[in-house]
Amino acid sequence: MSNALRIDGKEKAAEMSEQITAQTAELLEKHGLQPGLAVVIIGEDPASHVYRRNKKKRAEGCGFHSVQHTLDAGTTEANVLALIDELNNDDKIHGILVQLPLPDHLDEQTITQSISPGKDVDGFHFINIGKLTSGNTADAFVPCTPAGCMLMIQDHLGTNLSGLNAVVVGRSNIVGKPMASLLLQAHATVTICHSRTKDLPGVVRRADIVVAAVGRANMVTGDWIKPGAVVIDVGINRIETTVDGETKSKLTGDVEYESACEVAKAVTPVPGGVGPMTIVMLMANTLRAARLSAGLDG
C-alpha cells in the first residue's frame, strides 16, 4: 500500500510562477525594469531544445524579455565567448544561461566562467559557488535544481533541519555539491555518496532526507529508504517498457517511486516533481538578477 505524500512540483512551480509574474509586473510599473533572460544553446541535441523551449515559454509567461541564441554545433569557442561578452554588456539582459552539455570541442569551464557573476542565473560561476559554500547567499545565485529541491524539502520539514541526516546521492557540480551546501546551511548533517561509496543502501537507509541525483533509472528502491524519510528524485531517465506487447519509452527517476512510497513520508514523482521547480527557480533567479542590478533587494 502506498502511504507517502506525492510532492507536487508542478503545482508548486505554477504557484511560484504566478507570484513571479505579479512581481515582474510591479517591477515594470514602479521601476520601468523588465527582467531579461538570454538562453544560449549550441548544437541540435533534442533534449536540450525541449528544455530551451520550456524555458522560453515560462519566461514569456512571467512577462520577461526572453531571447534565445542557437549556435551551430561546430561553432568556435571564440564565437561563443563573443556572444557572451555581448550579453554581459546588454542592459536588457539580466540572466544568461548556456545550455549544457556542450559539444566536445568546447570547454565548459571557460564558457561558464565567462558569464558575469551578476548575470549567472545558473549559479555556475566560481564567485557564486564560493558565496554559496561560504554561506554568503545574500546576493549569490544558487543553481536552480538544488534550490528547487530545497524549497520542497522545507515545505515538509521546515527551514531548520537540525538533527536530521541528509544523504545526497551524486556529486555533480550542478546538483550534488550545491545541494549538500544548501542542506548544510539549513543545519542538516550531510553525507554525499557516489559510485565509489561502500554500502550505498546502508548509508541511504540512515537518511531522513534523500536526494537522488545519479542518472540511473530506479536505482533507489523502497528497501533503501528509512521509514518516514522525505525523498527527492532529481533523475530524468528515459527507459523502454513493454505494455501489452508494445515497446514504449517513458520517463522515470532515480528512485523506484512505488516501492519508495510504501516507506517514505513524501516522495517527488518523475515527471512532475523536481523538473518544473528547476525551471521556475531559473525565473526566480532572473527576476532577482534584474532587481539586484537596479540596487533593489533580491
Q: Which sequence positions are flagged as catalytic?
A: 55, 99, 122
Choose which of 42, 144, 219, 289 interacts with ligand GUN (CB under 6 A). 144
In the complex, the smallest distance separating the C-beta of residue 47 from ligand GUN, rounded to whole angstroms, is 9
Q: Which residues pair with 96 in a beta bridge?
A: 38
SS3 call for 53: helix
In the complex, the smallest distance separating the C-beta of residue 194 from ligand GUN, rounded to whole angstroms, is 18
List for the chain the helix, strand, coil content (%; round to 5): 40, 20, 40
Binding of ligand GUN by 71 (CB under 6 A):
no
Q: Please identify, using beta-carbon distances, which residue of 64 and 224 lies nearer to ligand GUN.
A: 64
Binding mask 94-133 for ligand GUN (x = CB under 6 A): ---xxxx---------------------x-----------
Give, rounded to a whole angstrom, the gap between the first and last alpha carbons of the chain.
Answer: 44
Choose which of 17, 23, 24, 145 interacts with ligand GUN (CB under 6 A). 145
237 phi and psi angles, rounded to 5 deg: -115, 135
In the complex, the smallest distance separating the C-beta of residue 121 from ligand GUN, rounded to whole angstroms, is 9
Q: Which residue is nearest to ligand GUN (CB)?
A: 100
* Residue-wise DSSP of 74-121: T--HHHHHHHHHHHHT-TT--EEEEPSSPPTTS-HHHHHTTS-GGG-T
Cell matching residue 60: 514569456
Q: Tell me which stretch binds ligand GUN (CB under 6 A): 91-99, 218-226, 261-269, 287-295.
A: 91-99
In contact, 277 and 151? CB cutoff 8 Å: yes
Q: Please identify, using beta-carbon distances, which residue of 83 and 261 lies nearer to ligand GUN.
A: 83
Contacting residues toward ligand GUN, per CB under 6 A: 97-100, 122, 144-145, 174
